Chains A and B, each alone.
Chain A
Amino acid sequence: MADRVPLFEAEHVTRFFDVSRPWLQRVINGEKRRLLRAVDDVSFTIGKGSTLSLVGESGCGKSTMARLAVGLYAPSHGAIRFEGEPIAAARAEARQRRRMNMIFQDPYASLNPRWRVARIIAEPIRAFGLLRGARAIAARVAELLAQVGLQPSDGGKFPHEFSGGQRQRISIARALSSEPEFLVCDEPTSALDVSVQAQILNLMRDLQRRLGLTYLFISHNLAVVRHMSDRLGVMYLGRIVEIGPAEEVFSTPRHPYTRMLLDAIPDLSPDRMMSGRDRTPIAGEVPSPLAPPPGCSFHPRCPLANARCREERPAYTPAGAILVACHAVAEGRLPA
């Protein structure tokens, strides 16, 4: 392709949150400002029509990154670009803004309970002025409902009349109604039962193929991520510790955290079940993002940590097609 500009680009993105106590209390107790570094120097690109997933445990910054990606938060440092244009500028323009949308985790909280489904789905069409006339809009809503596997007659119902999976279908129909190219999906199936999750994941993949959608997919579930992703970034305490083609990250994980995470997952693969072994629990817990450890933030839990890991923050080392932020990988200390 001649066009080498990726659809979405995050470059050294950092986002702080000020979690200091009120000014007077700080003065009385002689406290300093406290900054929470939710996302810390994160860079990645997403090519058109592909899916990049960010995976990690709670507090790793993946949801903050999702919000940054659609411009709901502004980055404290760094740049986020949509087709090479800074996201803030893209958001200011309705023509560009409608090209990105978001699907949220909780289908119970993200739909207005007082609106009928048809109105919920038609709202972006009206807001962006994509179609005029009630009849044209109704026809488009019916088409969208069919596209996500609902009946056109469902448009006359209220959200409470639907199950969780059907509500998530409504959320997807709403997200698609502005004819976006880029969808940010923040844990879209974690509130759903597994059989319904399969329906939604299949639907999202079908829609991607049919409409050429680009996804930024956020999840804590590695099995779901494996099913959905072209590329995968593993996040820990606000940083991407490993990023690369999903297949390669799964087949040959490099970062000790990725390895432990993959090992910790309860899985139904026959070889796992056959071995009958207990999973290796990762020792310890994620430290508070308010006081991240110095050096590599994973070092307190890492079996390979040495003095350098405790002091110096690791830069990215290429390993195959993967980038890994780990001194052990860079120094070749990683056991096979």
Chain B
Amino acid sequence: MSLLDVEKLSVAFPTRRGVLKALDNISFAIAAGEVLGVVGESGAGKSLTGAAIIGLLERPGQISGGRILFEGKRIDDLPQEEMRRIRGRRIGAIFQDPLTTLNPLYTVGRQLAETMQIHLGISGAEARRRAVGWLAQVGIPAPEERIDSYPHEFSGGMRQRVVIALALCAEPRLVIADEPTTALDVSIQAQIIALLKRLARERGTAVMLITHDMGVIAETADRVAVMYAGRIVELGPVARVIRNPAHPYTEGLMASIPTLEEKRGRLAQIEGAMPRLSAIPPGCPFSPRCPKVFARCTEERPELMLAGGTEAACWLFAPTLAEAAHERRGHG
């Protein structure tokens, strides 16, 4: 059984000019020890998906459909107080900007120890001892000395390590990491990613890694969900999605990324831009920019369907009528 099951989740923002559907009927699952990458351009709904799962949707956003199961139990309809106990203890979160996560008035040791005392019910002395251990785990040199430092006394990369320690110290089963390395330089980014990967592998923690950087996904994730205009357009094993993408959007996205290989002439580009939430076209949201568009795309919305080694929400992979009839006979 999966650790996290998101089933047909929709998130809506009621506004004066009508309801905006920011997430539209998305489904995916994460198993224990698995790293699921969630990738997409800004406004595609990646961060919103993470926020919905940990119950931190900003008003007026609300879950308007579907459900979220964590360890087999629904968590999307829990009262605030109960959700708060799960958050931190069972589900940890890492955000892009470490400064907003850390309290500037407390030493990092106190923040770590307090988190563990609350969630694990251990004594202060024990919590402090473990806090030193966590700082060492995430690669902070001389943790016995640094434990009494304040967040501002750390550099950006070190601060992000503290945030990771803070997210992991209560030993959650699931970590939601929203752009954990975006604010960092490449050399630090590599250190943080190696750390996250090692912790997932060693502790069997499930990780939902939200990022716009396909390179980070390629190196870290087992599977990847590609989002576009509030929907998942492709979902599959990471190597497959990167090397052999099925959905025309994923294909365009992959081709538009400059690589360190041979210098190419022109980069492939997808014309236009992602639609605004207030103007998502009917049918497939990518249809106005899609080079392979045909009549059905503008009329009927595609759901995820098998497409080679991945699943893609694209009518190109619709079973033909003959196949569908065969399927029905087979099951009937």
Contacts and interface: CB of A to CB of B under 8 A. Distances in A.
Point out which of B187, B190, B215, B269 has the most chain A C-beta atoms below 10 A from its C-beta: B187
Given A220-B185, A227-B258, A195 B269 contact: yes
Contacts of A197: 256
Contacts of B267: 198, 201-202, 227
Given A57-B187, A265-B260, A278 B197 contact: yes
A226 B267 CA distance: 12
A223 B262 CA distance: 10
B214 A268 contact: yes
Contacts of B263: 226-227, 246-247
B256 A223 contact: no
A99 interface: no
B20 interface: no
Contacts, number: 124
Given A227-B263, A279-B194, A273 B215 contact: no
B64 interface: no
Given A267-B259, A273-B239, A285-B158, 18 more contacts: A193-B274, A194-B256, A198-B256, A202-B269, A220-B186, A224-B258, A264-B187, A265-B186, A265-B215, A265-B260, A266-B193, A267-B218, A268-B214, A268-B215, A268-B242, A269-B259, A279-B190, A281-B191
Given A227-B267, A273-B218, A264 B157 contact: no
A278 B197 CA distance: 9
B210 to A, nearest CB: 14
A208 to B, nearest CB: 13
B188 interface: yes
A193 B42 CA distance: 7
Nearest to B271: A199
Interface in A219-238: 220-224, 226-227
B253 A195 contact: yes
Contact of B258 (A201, A261, A282, A286): A201
B189 interface: yes
Interface residues of B, number: 44
Interface residues of A, number: 45
B80 interface: no
Interface string B236-272: 0001001100000000111011111101101111110
A223 B185 contact: no
Interface in B159-197: 185-191, 193-194, 197
Given A193-B212, A201-B258, A227-B267, A266 B191 contact: no
Contact of A285 (B155, B194, B253, B264): B155
A64 interface: no
B7 interface: no
Interface string B100-120: 000000000000000000000
